[in-house]
């Protein structure tokens, strides 16, 4: 049985560190590095808690999208940097590698299974991020109007 440390905390910590490392590529500085790291760790935690399936990837992507939208509004920065960096740990690079490996080896059944699962994961990430962005941008003017008069 997995412990909390090896099952949840360590993978989220690795995701946090990977995202902080990727902020160098996207030229994100200061507190933005920590925000991207927290977004990646949060997404990975949701993915693990939801069961590591295609639906879990969708949920994780939606949570990352919402987190990125909120942080971008609070810091007055572009959403794209936060969103892309936080989604990177969930990208199914291993699935792509193994699909190509099975194709080269001639194992067509495993190739197709792995390829379809990888495509499903990538699609779930894209749909989750797009859905969250669309809903947030549609609701944001209304929410801003409702809270503008309050301290």
Q: What is the full per-residue pLDDT of the chain (151 aa) written as tens digits?
A: 578 888 899 999 999 999 999 999 989 999 999 999 999 999 999 999 999 899 999 999 999 999 999 999 999 999 999 999 999 999 999 999 999 999 999 999 999 999 999 999 999 999 999 999 999 989 888 877 777 655 4
C-beta atoms surrounding 119 within 10 Å = 15
C-alpha distances out from residue 113 to 54, 103, 125, Å: 13, 11, 19
Please state the domain count of the chain: 1
pLDDT score, position 128: 96
Q: What pLDDT score was predicted for residue 143? A: 76
Domain limits for position 100: 8-147
Q: Answer whether residue 97 is part of any domain.
A: yes
pTM (2 d.p.): 0.88
Please tell me what DSSP assigns to residue 91: S
Residue 92 covered by a domain: yes
Check residue 142 and give its pLDDT.
Answer: 80
What's residue 141's pLDDT? 82
Q: Is position 139 within any domain?
A: yes
> What is the distance, to the nearest Å, from the Cα of residue 67 to the centroid of all Cα atoms in its chain?
10
Q: Is residue 129 part of a domain?
A: yes
């Amino acid at each position: 049985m997995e412990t909390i440390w090896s099952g949840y905390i360590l993978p989220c910590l690795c995701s946090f560190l990977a995202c902080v490392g990727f902020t160098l590529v996207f030229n994100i500085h200061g507190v933005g590095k920590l925000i991207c790291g927290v977004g990646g760790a949060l997404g990975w935690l949701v993915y693990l808690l939801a069961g590591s399936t295609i639906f879990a990837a969708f949920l994780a992507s939606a949570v990352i999208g919402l987190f990125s939208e909120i942080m971008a509004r609070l810091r007055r920065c572009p959403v794209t940097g936060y969103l892309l960096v936080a989604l990177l740990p969930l990208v199914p690079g291993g699935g792509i590698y193994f699909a190509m490996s099975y194709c080269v080896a001639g194992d067509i059944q495993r190739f197709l299974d792995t390829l379809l699962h990888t495509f499903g994961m990538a699609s779930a990430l894209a749909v989750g991020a797009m859905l969250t962005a669309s809903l947030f941008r549609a609701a944001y003017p209304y929410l801003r109007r409702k809270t503008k008069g309050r301290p």
